[in-house]
């Protein structure tokens, strides 16, 4: 499988690195000479210098035998035009375009036939979705849903005062009378697939899988009790802040016919009226927000100004969402908001290395703008029986949900006969929301959903197993 990626910025670089680690044939196209140099030095793939909407550049990249063309440059127009050129000039079956400007939703961009684009990815909407999933569960952590299961996956950071510091996984399970799986322990930017004897240390981040009810009991026991989110303070009234506010207010239902409505539905359905305040330092943006959201309190001001949060008496708010384009500011203000008494905080970051840092600093939920989009693109690349993809530990691990439909080669086979690649484990199997941790003699049936955890080196082999007949 050859995959051509146009754009070697943060997103293109991250997608390329992930796919290269999975031993895919990747080619990068980039016009900026410095980015070409960085990508050539750091990535084990072909890097072509030039514009992605240039026929000769595309030919030099080997577009004729590519299966995927992914355009994630910083220009929506270039991404769409490049996909249109690939559609009209070359026989590439799958074209993906990053499109940030939602104004294009008024055209036929939501239609698969528009400019030959097979899949449109909006990074801000993907990040907003991740924020809203967390808010739905009280903003205690990031959250991943599984398609056919009552199980969820959430993260919890272990502090010095945590009741499980210094205890083994086996001891923790004996103390907590709930059914749950500790899928991964992230420790100092590395990971551990835990056994019963694995001891949990201060600073660890645990990836827990259980039902919503059991997870809430575990979080309560760990001191992170869920509270209703009624008063929300959003820092940054850009696209992400606006999308989150619109959904919290229940306005997405009125936009179902637009691309925005289609991309968001179904998400958070408000159960009660929320009070929302948005801080925006750009005067013209603040004016536009006031017109768009007359029921929201819009504050024109720079959140970094001394005393601005204290003077506004925001300590009784339930949730603080930092969604500016400055990730350092988002982290610092999220911590400061909690020091003032705001119960929960969500910070948006772009650098994946900040995820572990934020967990150790006790930001409740950290959303990676790039990770959200990369996971979405990986899910599309692996489509077919793949229902969900979630990367962990900088992409070293993936949680993958596989649906066993009629054409799935796993159906009718026992787990011990699957010959799974190394460093691949089945976490659980669900059918009709009946979840179980299977043994080797479990016979896989039609309709089963299998959730794997796999090292990036094993992903390609797992994909081949799923494609075999």
Query: For the domain that residue 41 is a member of, what is the CATH number?
Result: 3.40.50.720
**217 and 244 part of one domain:** no
Residue 99 lies in a domain: yes
342 and 238 within one domain: yes
* Residue 449, in any domain of the structure: yes
Identify whether 200 is part of a domain.
yes
Given pLDDT bands bounded at 50, 70 and 90, which one contains residue 259? very low
Q: Looking at the structure, do residues 178 and 306 belong to the same domain, yes or no?
A: no
Structural domains in the chain (count): 4
Q: Which residue has the higher pLDDT, 393 or 190?
A: 190
pLDDT at 358: 66
d(CA 446, CA 148): 13
Instruction: Please say if the pLDDT value at position 340 is more than 70.
Output: yes
Domain that holds residue 43: 2-121
318 & 245 share domain: yes
- Same domain for 217 and 231, yes or no, is no
* CB burial of residue 361 (10 Å; 0-12, 13-18, 19+): middle
Starting at the earlier edge strand, list the strands of the sheet with 181-187. Answer: 143-145, 151-157, 205-211, 181-187, 190-192
Is residue 15 included in any domain, yes or no? yes
Report the CATH number at residue 408. 3.30.70.1450
pLDDT confidence of 382, banded at 50, 70, 90?
confident
Residues 6 or more apart whose Cβ sits within 8 Å of residue 439: 415
CB-CB neighbours of 328 under 10 Å: 12
Q: What is the pLDDT of residue 103?
A: 62
The distance of Cα 268 from the centroid of its chain, to the nearest Å, equals 17
- 299-332 residue pLDDT tens: 998 888 877 787 777 888 999 999 999 999 999 9
Tell whether 265 and 357 lie within a shared domain.
yes
pLDDT for 414 equals: 93
Report the pLDDT averaged over residues 410-437. Answer: 88
pLDDT of residue 102: 64
Percent pLDDT > 90 in the chain is 43
pTM over 0.85: no
Mark whether 22 and 157 lie in a shared domain. Answer: no
Q: Identify whether 197 is part of a domain.
A: yes
Most confident option among 22-31, 351-360, 425-434, 437-446: 22-31
Last residue within a domain, chosen from 192, 221, 250: 221
Kindly state whether residue 377 falls inside one of the protein's structural domains. no
Residue 46 tokens, joined: 């072909």
Beta carbons within 8 Å of 245's beta carbon, 6+ residues apart: 234, 237, 276, 278, 293, 296
The CA distances from residue 246 to 108, 113, 242, 345, 395, in Å, are 23, 28, 6, 19, 31
Q: In this structure, are 11 and 90 located in the same domain?
A: yes
**For residue 265, pLDDT beyond 60:** no
Co-location of 248 and 323 in the same domain: yes
Which residues contact residue 189 at a Cβ distance below 8 angstroms, ignoring those fewer than 6 apart?
353, 356, 393, 394
- At 353, the pLDDT band (50, 70, 90 cuts) reads low
Q: Is the pLDDT of residue 444 over 70?
A: yes
Q: What does the DSSP assignment read for 89-130?
A: HS--SEEEEE---GGGGGTTTTSTTGGG-SEEE-HHHHHHHH
Q: What is the pLDDT of residue 72?
A: 94
Q: Among 105-119, 292-306, 402-416, 446-460, which is the least confidently predicted range?
A: 105-119
* Domain match, 112 and 151 both: no
**pLDDT of residue 31 exceeding 70:** yes
Of 73, 55, 52, 77, which Cα lies nearest the Cα of 64? Answer: 55
Residue 257 has pLDDT above 50, yes or no: no
Has residue 156 been placed in a domain?
Answer: yes
- pLDDT of residue 298 exceeding 90, the answer is yes
Q: For residue 107, tell me if it sits in a domain.
A: yes
Q: What span, in angstroms and rounded, lies between the C-alpha atoms of 7 and 408?
A: 34
In a shared domain, residues 187 and 59: no
């Amino acid at each position: 499988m050859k995959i051509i990626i146009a754009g070697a910025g943060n997103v293109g670089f991250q997608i390329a690195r992930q796919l290269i680690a999975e031993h895919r044939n990747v080619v990068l196209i980039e016009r900026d000479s410095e980015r070409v140099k960085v990508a050539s030095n750091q990535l084990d793939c072909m890097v072509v210098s030039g514009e992605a909407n240039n026929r000769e550049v595309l030919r030099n990249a080997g577009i004729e035998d590519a299966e995927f063309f992914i355009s994630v440059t910083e220009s929506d127009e270039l991404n769409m035009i490049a996909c249109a050129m690939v559609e009209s000039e070359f026989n590439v079956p799958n074209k993906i375009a990053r499109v940030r400007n939602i104004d294009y939703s008024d055209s036929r961009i939501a239609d698969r036939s528009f400019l030959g684009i097979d899949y449109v990815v909006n990074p801000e909407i993907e990040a907003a979705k991740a924020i809203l999933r967390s808010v739905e569960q009280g903003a205690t952590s990031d959250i991943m849903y599984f398609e056919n299961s009552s199980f969820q996956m959430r993260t919890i950071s272990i502090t010095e005062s945590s009741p499980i510091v210094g205890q083994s996984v086996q001891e923790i399970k004996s103390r907590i009378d709930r059914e749950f799986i500790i899928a991964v322990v992230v420790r100092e930017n590395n990971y551990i697939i835990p056994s019963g004897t694995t001891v949990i240390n201060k600073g660890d981040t645990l990836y827990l899988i259980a039902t919503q009810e059991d997870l809430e009991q575990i979080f309560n026991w760990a001191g992170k009790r869920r509270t209703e989110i009624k008063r929300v303070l959003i820092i940054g009234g850009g696209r992400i802040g606006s999308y989150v506010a619109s959904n919290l207010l229940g306005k997405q239902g009125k936009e179902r016919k637009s691309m925005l409505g289609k991309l968001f539905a179904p998400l958070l359905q408000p159960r009660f009226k929320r009070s929302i305040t948005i801080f925006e330092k750009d005067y013209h943006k603040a004016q536009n927000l006031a017109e768009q959201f007359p029921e929201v309190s819009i504050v024109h001001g720079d959140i970094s100004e001394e005393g601005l949060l204290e003077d506004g008496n925001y300590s009784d708010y339930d949730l603080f969402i930092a969604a500016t384009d400055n990730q350092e500011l988002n982290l610092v203000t999220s911590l400061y908001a909690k020091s003032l008494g705001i119960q929960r905080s969500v910070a948006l970051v772009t650098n994946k290395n900040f995820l572990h840092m934020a967990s150790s600093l006790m930001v409740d939920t950290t959303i990676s703008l790039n990770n959200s989009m990369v996971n979405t693109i990986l899910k599309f690349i692996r489509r077919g029986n793949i229902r969900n993809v979630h990367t962990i530990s900088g992409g070293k691990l993936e949680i993958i949900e596989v649906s066993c439909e009629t054409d799935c080669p796993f159906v009718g086979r026992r787990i011990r006969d699957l010959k799974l690649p190394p460093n691949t484990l089945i976490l659980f199997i669900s059918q009709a929301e009946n979840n179980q941790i299977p043994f080797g003699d479990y016979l896989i049936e039609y309709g089963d959903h299998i959730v794997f955890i796999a090292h990036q080196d094993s992903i390609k082999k797992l994909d081949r197993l799923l494609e075999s007949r």
